[in-house]
Structure 1
């Protein structure tokens, strides 16, 4: 116990929480611009999410998912921390699971960690490229029932599984 006691009137009930859920931006953050980060923060604020979680991917995860060359994990993570420091009024957190693991982390493992760690409902904020990659995995049909997607980018070629599940995702504003 903390030792700090407070007196409340009889029958007092705390006010209901006005912020619910978690918005998770899952990406390598190699090609994500500050404008996209600002849109994600604005979406988290306008929809009253409890917090915005930035989930940068480790180099080995990106290499297995897309074969793209990316900067070192710590450089991309430092950029996100610098951006977060510029927004002290927002509830933003940089998730460091992949930095601790220092190896390939399947999206299933990442999503299990996210759903266990953060408050529901869970919304994934994805770029169009990442959403198409996510939809190409076999586990997509199971995860689309558990999380909702907010897709940032131009409506170009979408994966057929995304088109089948249009009721579970929407475009970012």
Structure 2
């Protein structure tokens, strides 16, 4: 630290940061298009989020959650880093927790990590399938009061818990 005293005019208040919170894009990013990534970045900018966190899921997590196979984690992660470089924004972060763990990570652990490391309030940007899947977990009611959901598209068939907590989520594209 500098030992030189700095003088501030009487009544000086530092400028307030208008950007708050984190938009967390929780997805496999297997079939995600650049348009959807751009949409998430535009929403983050439009709503003044301080961070857009891209959270790619590990193959084991996807296999356990949906039973579908996806390409290797590092390939999907490389696509995200390339998109981030093209976009050139400092506020976009590719979260690497699942790449470090290299195994199944429950959504509870992922959300706990994300909410501890990124500024609040937290918004989870997910597909309609992921939202229905998340609503089927027993911990959903514990998490829905801590995070809000932004769905890319409103699901045609809603999980009963999503219906119950309709005030905690919104969809970008209405079906």
Normalised by the length of structure 2, the TM-score is 0.94
Kept in 2, the 8 Å contact 1:43–1:172? The answer is no
Question: Closer, same or farther in 2 for the Cα pair 1:99/1:59, shift >3 Å?
Answer: same
Please say if 1:94 is aligned against 2:94. Answer: yes
1:123 aligns with 2:123: yes
Quote how far apart the aligned CAs of 1:6 are: 4.7
Q: TM-score, normalised by structure 1?
A: 0.95
Moved over 6 A (4+): none
Q: Distance in 2 between the 1:5 and 1:68 partners?
A: 61
Map of 1:169 onto structure 2: 169
Task: Give distance in 2, aligned partners of 1:46 and 1:77.
Answer: 25
- In angstroms, what is the RMSD of aligned CA positions? 1.5
Aligned residues: 173
- What is the match of residue 14 of structure 1? 14
**Is there any run of 5+ residues in structure 2 with no aligned partner, and where?**
none
Paired residues for 1:54-133 under 5 Å = 54-89=54-89, 91-133=91-133
Q: C-alpha distance in 2, partners of 1:90/1:45?
A: 12
